[in-house]
Amino acid sequence: MSDNILEINNLSKYFGGLAAVSDCSIKVKRGTITGIIGPNGSGKTTLFNLIAGNLKSSGGSVTFDEENITDVPSYELFPKGLLRTFQIAHEFSNLSVLENLMMVPGNQSGEKLMTALFKPGLVAKEEAEVKEKAKEVVEFLNLGHLSNELAGNLSGGQKKLLELGRTMMVDAKLVLLDEVGAGVNRTLLKDLGTAIEKLNKEKGYTFCMIEHDMDFIGRLCDPVIVMAEGSVLFEGTVDEAKKDEKVIESYLGRGSKLKDEV
Ligand SMILES: Nc1ncnc2c1ncn2[C@@H]1O[C@H](COP(=O)(O)OP(=O)(O)O)[C@@H](O)[C@H]1O
Ligand SMILES: [Mg+2]
């Protein structure tokens, strides 16, 4: 098994004449929580969209677990254990926390009409198993007391925890988080950090997270990759990044600040 769970080689994405991601190469070590930072517009989200199969690349390759997954659509990556979190869709806000977890597509035969019609017993058994799994997930995330609460009534931070919980319904290997801490209050940000660390240590998840909050990054991530103009400018520890001349300049050039809030 390769040390690297993800290898990105010379990946590019053009929107018209604009190179959002440009000849970008990154290796993500298995078992890490790798931070991705960089000024606005440096191509971070586009990079995630390319990896997660939400956008087609203009060139280069992506390898996940030694398998070439370049331009493989997201629904095929999901069962392989590569996923990104998504905001709880509006339609799901009227479902409970537990039901939201149970809706995560898995291998349930319940989704197949024929099985539902001809083997209702099997469907019921699987539904019970999925419910059991969902209960484990809410306990793991300390959301047990909110199991029956409607997702729409959760606070912003609790919703983020639930989004993270959805990845646990399919036993992810690599999870991509795009600004999961944005707009989350300090207390819940701590819980979110704890959940990420716990998933990393206890379930062996590798994380790649785009984040603006340098304290949050500093607490969780090693290494951190700094992107600028669609490719990698720097890789190292957070402390090294904060001191690096090139990094500081790339932020200053954009009129952003690096110190606490990037
Ligand atoms: N769908 C799109 N169509 C055209 N341009 C896009 C699209 N998505 C992103 N871009 C452009 O690509 C560049 C990188 O954007 P993005 O990946 O969102 O950066 P970041 O997440 O680092 O802020 C920006 O200049 C942005 O305007
Ligand atoms: Mg972005």
The residues pairing with 7 across neighbouring beta strands, listed in sequence order, are: 27, 63
Q: Whose CA is nearest to atom 1 of ligand 1?
A: 15
Q: CA-CA distance, 212 to 214, in Å (whole number)?
A: 6
Q: What share of the chain is helix, strand, coil (3-state, %, to 5)?
A: 45, 25, 30
Assess whether the C-beta atom of 236 lies below 6 angstroms from ligand 1: no
Lowest mean per-residue pLDDT among 4-18, 82-96, 136-150, 210-224: 82-96
* Pair 164, 180 in one domain: no
CA–CA distance, 142 with 189 (Å, rounded to integer): 14
d(CA 120, CA 14): 49
- Long-range pairs for 157-161 at CB < 8 Å and ≥24 separation? 157/184, 157/185, 157/187, 157/188, 157/189, 157/191, 157/192, 158/188, 159/87, 159/88, 160/85, 160/184, 160/188, 160/192, 161/188, 161/191, 161/192, 161/195
- Residue that is last in its domain, among 169, 201, 233: 169
What pLDDT does 117 receive? 61
Is 43:95 a contact under the CB 8 Å cutoff?
A: no
pLDDT at 85: 84
> What ligand 1 atom has the least distance to the C-alpha of 230?
14
Q: Report residue 88 CA to chain centroid gap.
A: 14
Annotate 210-243 with b (16+ C-beta within 10 A) or e (fewer): bbbbbebbbbbbebbbbbbbbbbbbebebeebbe
Give yes or no: residues 156 and 218 share one domain: no
Predicted confidence at residue 170, as pLDDT, reads 86
Number of compact structural domains in the chain = 2
Whether residues 105 and 145 share a domain: the answer is yes
> 22: closest CA among 41, 52, 43, 4?
43
**What residues make up the domain containing 155?**
90-169
The pLDDT of residue 27: 98
Q: Answer yes or no: do 156 and 122 share one domain.
A: yes
Q: Could you tell me if 219 and 239 lie in one domain?
A: yes
Judge if 41 and 114 occupy the same domain. no
Nearest to 37 by CA among 245, 253, 218, 255: 218
Q: Which helix (H) or strand (E) holds 159?
A: helix 156-168
C-alpha of residue 251 to centroid of ligand 2, in Å = 15
**Statement to judge: residues 109 and 238 lie in one domain:** no
Residue of minimum CA distance from atom 16 in ligand 1: 43
pTM, two decimal places: 0.88
> What CATH code is carried by the domain that includes residue 231?
3.40.50.300
- Ligand 1 in contact with 45 (CB < 6 A)? yes
Please check whether residue 242 is in contact with residue 257, taking contact to mean a CB–CB distance below 8 angstroms: no
* Domain match, 160 and 221 both: no
**Residue at which a domain ends, from 129, 145, 169:** 169
| Residue 20 Cα to ligand 1 middle (Å) | 6
Residue ending a domain, choose from 119, 147, 169: 169
Give per-residue pLDDT as tens, 199-249: 999 999 999 999 988 899 999 999 999 999 999 999 999 999 999 999 999
Query: Atom 6 in ligand 1: which residue has the minimum CA distance?
Result: 15
Separation of first and last alpha carbons in the chain? 35
